[in-house]
Structure formats: structure tokens, C-alpha cells
Amino acid sequence: MMDDPRLLEIKRFIRDVPDFPKPGILFKDITPLLGDGPAFRKTIDLLAERVREHKPTALVGIESRGFIFGAALAHAMGVGLLPVRKPGKLPYKTKRVEYSLEYGTDALEMHEDAVSQGLRVVIVDDLLATGGTAAATARLVEEQGGVVAGFAFVVELDFLKGRSKLGGRPAEALLHY
């Protein structure tokens, strides 16, 4: 799909930052994309084209950059946005899922009443790397009776094979590195 000229236009707004957040990591910085109105709009339009086919009744945004893309995408599609956050950040009763990282564990939470039985969602984040956070979010949604119709990312780091952790569910990514 990189033959789509709109993807080439937005790709130029992704900046490489070497050695962030630690030495040896080449960070894909999306802040220049967010700072350019036409590029950001184009990104949301491209995501909406891909996400609509999954027919979600809501989107799930993963903290924190998933909120940015998720909120704009939810607005464009006329559906709600359900936030998934790090522990202790949501004000109401929550459901929690813990998941493994390369070194240790982490956890995510969402309100216990966020997902109704059979709610069809697409999980949105800025970047798919190892897939642990996205897979944990899917587990959180499904444990509450929701249906994960797919995932949507602006960037996918193909070499980390995060897609393999998504349980074979559809995953849309605009840009691949």
C-alpha cells in the first residue's frame, strides 16, 4: 500500500530519534505529524478508511498516544472512545490486566463498565512494536465481554513481529519500518 501517495506524504512527518529512550533504540517520533494539521487530518482519514471495514461500535485508545489518534478517529467515525490507562489513572472502578515485558511486568486498566457484552471495538495506538500492550488491551476488552474486531496503528515496526501476538485478528498499520 505504500504506492498510495498519501502514505508517502505522512511518512515524511515521522522523525527518527536515535538512542531514545535508551541507547540502541531508534525511536519513531510522531510529534511532527501531530503538529502539521493537513498531515494529521490525512492520517485520520487513512485510518478511518481502514477501520470502517471492521464495523466497530466503539474504539479503544491505549494510553497515551493512542488517545490522540483514537479520539480524532472516533470523532471522524461517529463512535465513542474507551480509554485504557496505566494503573491508578481512571477515577471509577476498574478491571486490570497484567502482562509480561522483556524485563518484568506492566499493567493496564479500564473502567469496569466501559465494555458492554458483545460491544465490537477496534483498538487504536500510535505504534505496534512487540505487541504486548495491544494484546493485553485485547484481553482486557474480551474479559469484559467485548469483541475485538481489529487493531489500528499509524506505525508498525515489522522487525519486532508484534503482529504475531494479536491472535490473528485484523491489524491495520499505515506505515511499516
Report the helix count and the strand count for the chain, using DSSP H and E: 5, 9
**What confidence tens digit (pLDDT) does each residue in 103-140 have?**
789 999 999 999 999 999 999 999 999 999 999 999 99
Whether 65 is catalytic: yes
Q: Is residue 37 part of a domain?
A: no
The pTM of the full predicted model, rounded to 2 decimals, is 0.96
Q: Is residue 13 part of a domain?
A: no
- Give the active site residue among 50, 65, 139, 169: 65
Q: Give just the sign of the alpha carbon dihedral 18, 20, 25, 30.
A: negative
> Would you place residue 48 in the very low, low, confident or very high pLDDT band (cuts 50, 70, 90)?
very high
Q: Is residue 77 part of a domain?
A: yes
Q: Is residue 70 part of a domain?
A: yes
Torsion of the alpha carbons at 173, 115, 98 and 127, rounded to the nearest 10: 20
Boundaries of domain holding 170: 55-176
Count of structural domains, the chain: 1
Q: Is residue 91 part of a domain?
A: yes
Q: Give residue 1's pLDDT.
A: 54
Whether 169 is catalytic: no
> Would you place residue 3 in the very low, low, confident or very high pLDDT band (cuts 50, 70, 90)?
confident
Q: Is residue 127 part of a domain?
A: yes
Q: Is residue 113 part of a domain?
A: yes
| CATH code at position 101 | 3.40.50.2020
